[in-house]
Structure 1
């Protein structure tokens, strides 16, 4: 590992911005504020007004009433929607919330609005956007020198080399529960002492089922996650374990650990969020009830912990924690993701974009559950091996565009089982 690049996330390093943060509340920009990560981040901020102050919010635009409520409660300077057609509705919602003497925040709209806010004056940008559209804001925040609390795993996965080229030591703090757990566990030893990263997976709603038994599952089945409350895309990704494959790629990029030293372990209770095995045989685990407020608080508050950020276990009650090996035949997505991650270049962008299209096709009733990963694998294979040269943003976006179109074409030729067949 001596010739490897430095890891993007290192708990032993501090970003220079932390040295000049001062004693007052830390200024935060929240991207994706009306989503699952964003709403919980707002809860953390409101519970800790002495620690955090939100200066700007962004959202897609589907929940303008909630966005206006958040803006008013947090007294932000600016608010943005990526759907320019919802800007007027947002302004009306803001005027309804604000009193006559209260100044309205600036409203930004359009596909570049979140990117503009990511570069605005603040200490930390929390990127809670879902999907690869979060790449440009990620790059903007890094370029502007902000600390990046990263929940948008897709931007790192599809643009890994671009992110690596911009990120300074200690600038990225992971917010995904698994990567936050690894980040915390890695404090227990040096980088050279790490033997293996163990990424835990709940197994989703279909743990224990065979590939044949998964042929007839419905979107309603896939959206019934047993332990986490998330958006529909991430929930389906958890059902296929594509989400876990993406997390393995992310762990490789964040911590610079080879794929053959990253292992997925199924842990249904979701109490242990991930583990690090060290060279002496010690395994350090980070655990807690399944609640995203703790990793969010650590992400925006680092290097300090926020008291009572999340719930704790009642150790006076009996608990059982189980672990199982991953069934790679029923869930081939993790092995496919490792292959894609090793290929590098635009392959991860193709993998992610094709999956997003296939999940949409599944949710709309046009693609069988097993067809999601099968179609993604076909698109990845057709894409081929990327050329060994520096990656550009245009190449990533072009690869995504091709992958989305090709995934839609292939998905259109797959037939989802009828109700009679499922019966």
Structure 2
């Protein structure tokens, strides 16, 4: 029987690659629904070739235009439409490839629908990790990571006894500016920041990679997904991006997962878990590798990585505040309204102010309020830059 799949954020970088994997393996999967944002043409291209029971677009104007064009598909729109897709009866998996805080409520709703979730929407886990994981345990829903680093950890943990784990080792490429010093960062442009040396990703995550905030969020995400204390999560720089992450055990054995830089590999693993199947990706040739290099990160060079650790240790609603601040700051940078280093200034200022509204055990409503507070606070900080 085919696995019935819903893909949220289908027109984004991870989402479109997810759809590509699903098309390659139509013998195993049935795509039930796709949700897209502004790239409605992606959905139309798909519907011109394949059938869908349901679809969702971001804006009402697109909904009005497209719903009569494809009468055999039931359409939804907006954030409510995302909830409708994750409420569909008799689906097996939701692939949450949405970018940003908007992915949180669909994640929670999919859990309540007792679906497996292939999750690349790290904001769900950063902002509301304890709530998401508690609900997943309650409804017995499986969260399978899609990020290459967390997929690597997920894979290297298999077959090992958890109490024997010493630490997680998350690798980082260093992003577009890994070879620049602090002075050189003062005049970098958006175009410079979007040139990731290894991965082809969406704009927001590419900027986060350049600031190393993405790696900081991945530390928080690893803490949430694998229930590991922060002091047992280490980040190391690995510019070749061949070793995607490692696990170290009490006998000092280190198990690593290696592969080419192709997101379709962790995507496919999440879709087929616990099976492994053939794919069309390039094969990693170890004999062609000249060297693999590793070094400790410079926290003064990448202060947002240090900030993410600090916020993770604080817990409560602080990760939601950091997420809201960073999401807004990156958006401003992509709109050419602030400089690259202003992203750091904004995050530090908002987190500092956020300690005044710290909540140790926030509810979902308080998490949402904290995110909204951070977004508004960024505008205050912006006026002082």
State the TM-score, normalizing by the size of structure 1: 0.87
Question: Does structure 2 retain, via aligned residues, the 8 Å contact 1:175–1:296?
Answer: yes
Residue in structure 1 matched with residue 98 of structure 2 by the alignment: 129
In structure 2, C-alpha distance between the alignment counterparts of 1:224 and 1:383, rounded to whole Å:
32
Q: How does 1:8-407 map to 2 (within 5 A)?
A: 24-60=1-37, 62-91=38-67, 95=69, 104-121=72-89, 122-168=91-137, 171-308=142-279, 310-384=281-355, 390-407=361-378
Structure 2 alignment gaps of length 5 or more: none
Deviation at 1:314?
Answer: 2.6
8 Å CA contact retained: 2:5, 2:30: yes
Instruction: Name segments (4+ residues, structure 1) moved above 4 Å.
Output: 385-389
Contact 1:115 / 1:140 at 8 angstroms: preserved in 2? yes
Contact 1:203 1:241 (8 Å CA) reproduced: yes
Q: Shift in Å at residue 50 of structure 1?
A: 0.9
Q: Whole-Å Cα distance in 1 between the matches of residues 343 and 237 of structure 2?
A: 21
CA drift at 1:59: 1.3
Cα 1:210–1:316 shift into 2, 3 Å? closer
Stretches of structure 1 that go unaligned for 5 or more consecutive residues are 1-23, 415-423
CA drift at 1:318: 4.0
CA–CA distance in 2 between the matches of 1:165 and 1:259?
19
Q: Measure how far apart 1:348 and its partner are.
A: 0.7
Q: What is the alpha-carbon root mean square deviation over aligned residues?
A: 1.6
- Secondary structure at the aligned position of 1:326 is classed as coil
Counterpart secondary structure, 1:149: strand
In the alignment, the residues of structure 2 paired with residue 203 and residue 78 of structure 1 have an alpha-carbon distance, to the nearest angstrom, of 39
CA contact (8 A) 2:318 2:358 kept: no
Does the aligned pair in 2 maintain the 1:185–1:284 contact within 8 Å? yes
Query: Is contact 1:124-1:148 (8 Å) kept?
Result: yes
- How far apart, in 1, do the equivalents of 2:317 and 2:76 lie? 31
CA distance in 2, matches of 1:321, 1:400: 39
Q: Distance in 1 between matches of 2:226 and 2:187?
A: 38
Return the alpha-carbon distance in structure 1 between the equivalents of residues 344 and 49 of structure 2: 42
Question: 1:170 Cα shift?
Answer: 6.2
* CA deviation vs aligned residue, 1:9-32 (integer Å, no higher than 9, x gap): xxxxxxxxxxxxxxx211000000
1:252-303 superposed Cα distances (whole Å, 9 cap, x missing partner): 0001111111111111111111111111111111011101001111111111
Contact 2:321–2:351 under 8 Å retained in 1? yes
Larger mean CA deviation between 136-145 and 182-191 belongs to 182-191
* Contact 2:8 2:15 (8 Å CA) reproduced: yes
Contact 2:15 2:97 in 1 (8 A): yes
Counting matched residue pairs gives 382
Aligned-pair distance for 1:329? 0.6
TM-score by length of 2: 0.95
Mapped contact 1:344–1:386 kept (Cα < 8 A) = no
Matched residue SS, 1:107: strand
